[in-house]
């Protein structure tokens, strides 16, 4: 008696890695040059991607093919908060100089808030409750 084939880890890994990168199906589909319907079918385990498509998906997400086909769900990177994932998705594709400028500007703004003693800011850097 033969055992049933193992379920592919690709659909679950693809969805998990896409969300961690802060990408919608439509955004990833555009980056990987595939239709969003095809991407949806892959994530629902209705379509098995070719090796070429796996390479394009991995590159678009910023991961490796090995991460897409891995049977273990070992997170090598810490999980991003939704706000962090949105920020990452925004700057994806920027060159290093543009990202460095953004980091410098963000640090200047954070320093200005810290020096001003803004009561609306908590030490964690998150805004406090609105005061009336």
Instruction: Specify the range with the lowest mean pLDDT, choosing from 8-17, 58-67, 83-92, 119-128.
Output: 119-128
Query: Which residues on adjacent β-strands are paired with residue 127?
Result: 121
Let me know if 87 is exposed, middle or buried by CB neighbors in 10 A (0-12, 13-18, 19+): middle
On whether the pTM is more than 0.75, the answer is no
CATH 1.10.260.40 in the chain is located at 1-92
The fold of 1-92 is 434 Repressor (Amino-terminal Domain) (1.10.260)
Let me know if 29 is exposed, middle or buried by CB neighbors in 10 A (0-12, 13-18, 19+): buried
Query: Which residues on adjacent β-strands are paired with residue 121?
Result: 127
Mean pLDDT of all residues in 37-50: 94
Percentage of the chain beyond pLDDT 90 is 52
């Amino acid at each position: 008696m033969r055992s049933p084939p193992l379920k592919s880890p690709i659909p679950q890994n693809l969805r998990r890695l896409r969300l961690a990168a802060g990408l919608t199906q439509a955004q990833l589909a555009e980056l990987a040059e595939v239709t969003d319907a095809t991407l949806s079918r892959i994530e629902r385990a209705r379509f098995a991607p070719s090796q070429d498509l796996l390479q394009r998906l991995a590159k678009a997400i910023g991961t490796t093919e090995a991460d897409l086909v891995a049977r273990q769900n070992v997170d090598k990177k810490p999980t991003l908060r939704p706000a962090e994932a949105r920020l990452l998705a925004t700057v994806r594709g920027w060159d290093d100089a543009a990202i460095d400028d953004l980091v410098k500007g963000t640090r200047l703004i954070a320093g200005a808030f810290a020096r001003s003693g803004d009561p609306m800011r908590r030490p964690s850097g998150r805004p406090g409750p609105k005061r009336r």
